[in-house]
């Protein structure tokens, strides 16, 4: 297949693109390499991708219609995996306009360009943040009409627009709600990479809340394989991709990294942030039945792979802005 992957220099986009090419697909990757987090990490991922036969990179903004249109004029795409967009709950409170522009308007630009060029398979990345306030484990059928951050609201808008194009133009749409993705080359604004480096360096960990809040951590390779599995024809489906087991507390994550690094963490406790969710936990039965997918990498194995990667790349990772 010829696949357009937006956000290819992002964490999930990078690994998904690598696996697509390993499976024999051709990929055009799009990213604007914005500076929401340290661009050196995005460039590291992109450098790995540009060495792969079957990959081509385009630097473009998703909400710039002309740039997106040129991509579709040059390649007959079979599908679009839309992983590009603004991530991060806390920063969305500071800069909500950027999130609506990229996640909502950018998604509309992709969908409309697909319509004009007859491309009808759309895989959309969404978020477990939509489930705030719902009973766990989270089912895809739950009403998610009360987003508690601009980030979640912008992702809800993207989901709604994707359904509209399914209804009006028969797009085949797979919406994937990701649950706390972690692993090597993960985002430096998320706790796993930050905590590994801070524990290793002896820098105090900034911990919001008492550490009892928990997440359904999901290893990056499992997420990437699930994303590729979602290229199959499903009509219109929303599917959770998560660990599917009992969620792991932030305190447990810190303890795991302490054991793997052989060092103790210094904790700088701060008040809980209202826009954060207390707990996440995915019901993944739908992913198993529709996509024949379930996670393969345990939390202990995944965190060890992250620590091993950090040690290998420490010379430059220790210089990243967290």
| 88, 11 contact by CB (below 8 A) | no
Place of tokens 């749409």: 173
Q: How far apart are CA 240 and CA 91, in angstroms?
A: 24
- Tokens standing for residue 230: 């979602």
Place of tokens 């826009």: 275
Cα torsion 255, 307, 192, 82: sign? negative
Which residues are marked as active site? Answer: 151
Number of residues that make up the chain: 322
Q: How far apart are CA 4 and CA 80, in angstroms?
A: 5
Nearest to 243 by CA among 293, 211, 281, 212: 281
- Tokens standing for residue 227: 């994303």
Angle of CA points 244, 234, 224, to nearest 5°: 45
Q: In the chain, which residue ranges form alpha helices assigned H by DSSP?
A: 11-22, 39-50, 65-74, 89-94, 96-99, 106-116, 150-169, 191-201, 220-229, 250-261, 285-291, 299-312, 314-317
Q: How far apart are CA 322 and CA 180, in angstroms?
A: 18
Residues 6+ apart with CB under 8 A from 295: 218, 219, 222, 242, 243, 244, 284
DSSP type of residue 216:
-
């Amino acid at each position: 297949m010829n696949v357009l992957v937006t956000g290819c220099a992002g964490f999930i986009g990078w690994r998904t693109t690598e696996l697509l090419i390993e499976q024999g697909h051709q990929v055009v990757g799009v990213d604007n390499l914005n500076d929401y987090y340290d661009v050196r990490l995005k460039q590291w991922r992109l450098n790995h991708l540009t060495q792969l036969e079957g990959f081509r990179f385009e630097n473009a903004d998703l909400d710039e219609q002309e740039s997106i249109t040129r991509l579709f004029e040059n390649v007959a795409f079979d599908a679009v995996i839309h992983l590009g967009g603004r991530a991060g709950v806390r920063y969305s409170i500071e800069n909500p306009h950027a999130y609506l522009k990229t996640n909502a308007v950018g998604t509309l630009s992709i969908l409309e360009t697909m319509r004009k060029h007859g491309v009808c398979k759309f895989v959309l990345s969404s978020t477990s943040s939509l489930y705030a306030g719902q009973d766990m484990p989270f089912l895809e059928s739950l009403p998610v009409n009360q987003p508690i951050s601009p980030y979640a609201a912008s992702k809800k808008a993207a989901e709604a627009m994707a359904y509209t194009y399914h209804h009006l133009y028969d797009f085949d749409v797979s919406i994937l709600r990701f649950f706390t993705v972690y692993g090597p080359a993960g985002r430096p604004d998320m706790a796993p990479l930050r905590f590994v480096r801070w524990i290793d360096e002896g820098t105090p960990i900034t911990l919001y809340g008492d550490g009892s809040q928990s997440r359904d951590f999901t290893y990056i390779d499992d997420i990437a394989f699930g994303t590729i599995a979602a290229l199959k024809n499903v009509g219109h489906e929303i599917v959770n991709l998560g660990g599917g087991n009992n969620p792991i507390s932030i305190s447990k994550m810190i303890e795991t990294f302490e054991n793997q690094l052989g060092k103790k963490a210094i904790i700088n406790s701060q008040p809980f942030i209202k826009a954060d969710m207390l707990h996440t936990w995915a019901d993944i039965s739908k992913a198993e039945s529709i996509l024949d997918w379930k996670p393969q990498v345990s939390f202990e194995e995944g965190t060890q792979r992250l620590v091993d990667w950090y040690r290998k790349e420490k010379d430059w990772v220790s210089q990243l802005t967290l």
